Amino acid sequence: MIVIHRPAQVKGPMGESLDRQVLPPGDPIPQDALWIDLIDPTKDEDRLVEVHLSIEIPTKEEMADIEPSEILYHENNARYMTARVLCSSDTDNPKLIDVSFILTERALVTVRYGEPRSFSMFMARAVKPGGCRHQPEAVLDGLLETIIDRAAEILGTVGTRIDRLSQSIFENEKQGARRAASYRVALKSIGRKGDVISNVRESMVSVERMLLFLSASMPRPQKTAGYKTEWRTALRDVQSIEEHATFLSNKIQFLLDATLGLVTIEQNDIIKIFSVMSVIFLPPTLVSSLYGMNFKIMPELDWEFGYPWAIMLMVLAAVLPYLYFRWKRWL
């Protein structure tokens, strides 16, 4: 699908904005298209944009490359940049998708195979008065700013959830199987939040590379110089988010270690109970084994109080170790 964003014909009281239009199949791309958004494009749609702007659209496999020289480069008076953008972060299956940004003199082209929320957020803002200036660089700057804001929003939400999870782990007053089940839930939650934080950090690293590339490559200084300061500000924001992501990663690791430690303590308590029970019942077993031997000469066999004596001896053999353990505070 090709989504076209053109300069709004009427300038609003708050400034410039964009008009959004889904290009019908077979229709030519308008000459005044400022932002061409390719969503799961077909080969014919790729070819249409390539002919319109005299560029090459990277394939999905090429976008997934990790070498900087393959995802950040100049070609045919256009700058090709690929970043990893957060997608489905509000679900149980967060992921990253590769998004290519192709900046030309006439328009910005984005190629993506997913629906990250940051794009819909920027689209909603761009159609409002003052939402976006009529320059490809302005569209790119707005997209990057929204991607960074979305990453910061996700980290803030995850940080709040981590705080609540920490309280539930260390203030867990449940007993037995319910407490063990809560630890399993906590471990799964820690894993999911760790995935989100890892995705945010990976996304910001790719955006940071892209901003450094933009700041270093200035083929049109008279038109892009005004955005250099904004890109540097965005770069500082990205680095700040990366530091916060590192802090949350350390906190997640601490919670993981603490939860596993509590699980180990719980298991040790169970094993200790079995060990103590074994020790308590071992002496009575010895007594019963002793009097269970079938020797012909055993004085207690003909004794009137032999049976009560054996019972009393077994009870004492069980109670005395228990009292000793309690005195030593091992129980």
pLDDT at site 217: 65
Token look-up 């988010």 returns 241
pLDDT at residue 175, as a whole number: 64
Domains of the chain in sequence order:
2-266 (3.30.460.20), 269-328 (1.20.58.340)
Backbone torsion region of residue 206, taken as left when φ is above 0, otherwise alpha when ψ lies between -120 and 50, otherwise beta: alpha
Q: Mean of the per-residue pLDDT values for the chain?
A: 81
3-state SS, residue 76: coil
H or E stretch including 248?
helix 221-291
The answer to which of 13-17, 298-302, 320-324 has the lowest mean pLDDT is 13-17
Eight-class DSSP state of 135: S
pLDDT in tens, 86-144: 888 777 678 888 899 998 888 889 998 888 888 888 888 888 887 778 888 888 888 88
Q: Percentage of residues in the chain with pLDDT exceeding 70?
A: 91
Q: Tell me how crowded residue 176 is: count the other CB atoms within 10 A of its CB.
A: 9
Separation of alpha carbons 273 and 295, rounded Å: 36
> Could you give the strand order of the β-sheet that contains 108-112, starting from the edge strand earlier in sequence?
18-22, 2-7, 35-39, 108-112, 95-103, 78-87, 72-75
- pLDDT for residue 301 is more than 80: no
pLDDT tens-digit map of 252-296 = 888 888 888 877 877 777 777 777 777 777 888 877 877 777 777
Mean pLDDT, residues 234-238: 87
Give the mean model confidence (pLDDT) for residues 177-194.
79
331 has pLDDT over 70? no
Place of tokens 């490559």: 217
